[in-house]
Amino acid sequence: MASPAPRVAATVAIETHGCKLNQADSAALARELKALGYTLVPDGEAADVYVVNSCTVTHIADRKARHALRAARRRNPNATIVATGCYAQRAPDDLRRLVEVDLVVGNADKPTLARRIADRCGESPVPCAVGAEEVALSPRALRTRAMVKIQEGCDQVCAYCIVPKVRGRERSVPPEHVLAQIRRYVSDGYKETVLTGTQLGTYGFDLPSINLAGLVRRILSETDIARLRVSSLQPQEMNGELLALWSDPRLCPHFHVPLQSGSDAVLKRMRRRYTARQYADAVSRVRAGLPYASITADVICGFPGETDGLFEETLALCREVGFADLHVFPFSARPGTSAVHFDGHVDADAKAMRVAALMALAQQQAADFRDGLLGQTRPVLWEERERGEHGLWSGLTDNYVRVVCDSGVPLSNRLTAARLVERRGEEVRAEVG
Q: What is the pLDDT of residue 389?
A: 55
Q: What is the pLDDT of residue 120?
A: 85
d(CA 148, CA 146): 6
Topology classification of domain 377-432: OB fold (Dihydrolipoamide Acetyltransferase, E2P) (2.40.50)
Chunked mean pLDDT (size 10), the chain, 433 residues:
49 91 90 88 88 92 94 93 94 94 94 89 47 34 80 92 90 97 93 95 95 98 97 93 96 97 98 96 96 97 97 98 96 92 95 97 97 97 76 93 91 95 92 89
d(CA 294, CA 335): 34
Strand boundaries in 112-260, DSSP class E: 145-149, 151-152, 171-172, 192-196, 227-230, 254-256
Q: Let me know if domain 255-373 sits in CATH 3.30.160.250.
A: no
Q: What is the pLDDT of residue 387?
A: 63
**Torsion over CA of 336, 338, 341 and 344, rounded to 10 degrees?**
-130
Q: What is the pLDDT of residue 124?
A: 46
Give me the residue spans of the domains in the chain. Answer: 11-129, 142-252, 255-373, 377-432
How would you class 431 by CB atoms within 10 Å of its CB: exposed for 0-12, middle for 13-18, buried for 19 or more?
middle
Handedness of CA 109, 112, 117, 119 (dihedral sign): negative
Looking at the DSSP bridge assignments, the partners of residue 229 are 194
* Domains 11-129 and 377-432 fall in the same CATH topology: no
Within 10 Å of residue 93's Cβ, how many Cβ atoms? 7
Q: What is the pLDDT of residue 123?
A: 54
Q: What is the pLDDT of residue 142?
A: 47
Q: What is the CATH number of domain 11-129?
A: 3.40.50.12160
Q: What is the pLDDT of residue 130?
A: 32
Query: Do 339 and 414 meet the contact criterion of CB atoms below 8 Å apart?
Result: no
Handedness of CA 153, 293, 228, 366 (dihedral sign): positive
Query: In a 3-state reduction of DSSP, which class is residue 206?
Result: coil
CATH architecture of the domain covering 142-252: 2-Layer Sandwich (3.30)
Looking at the DSSP bridge assignments, the partners of residue 172 are 151
Residue positions counted in the chain: 433
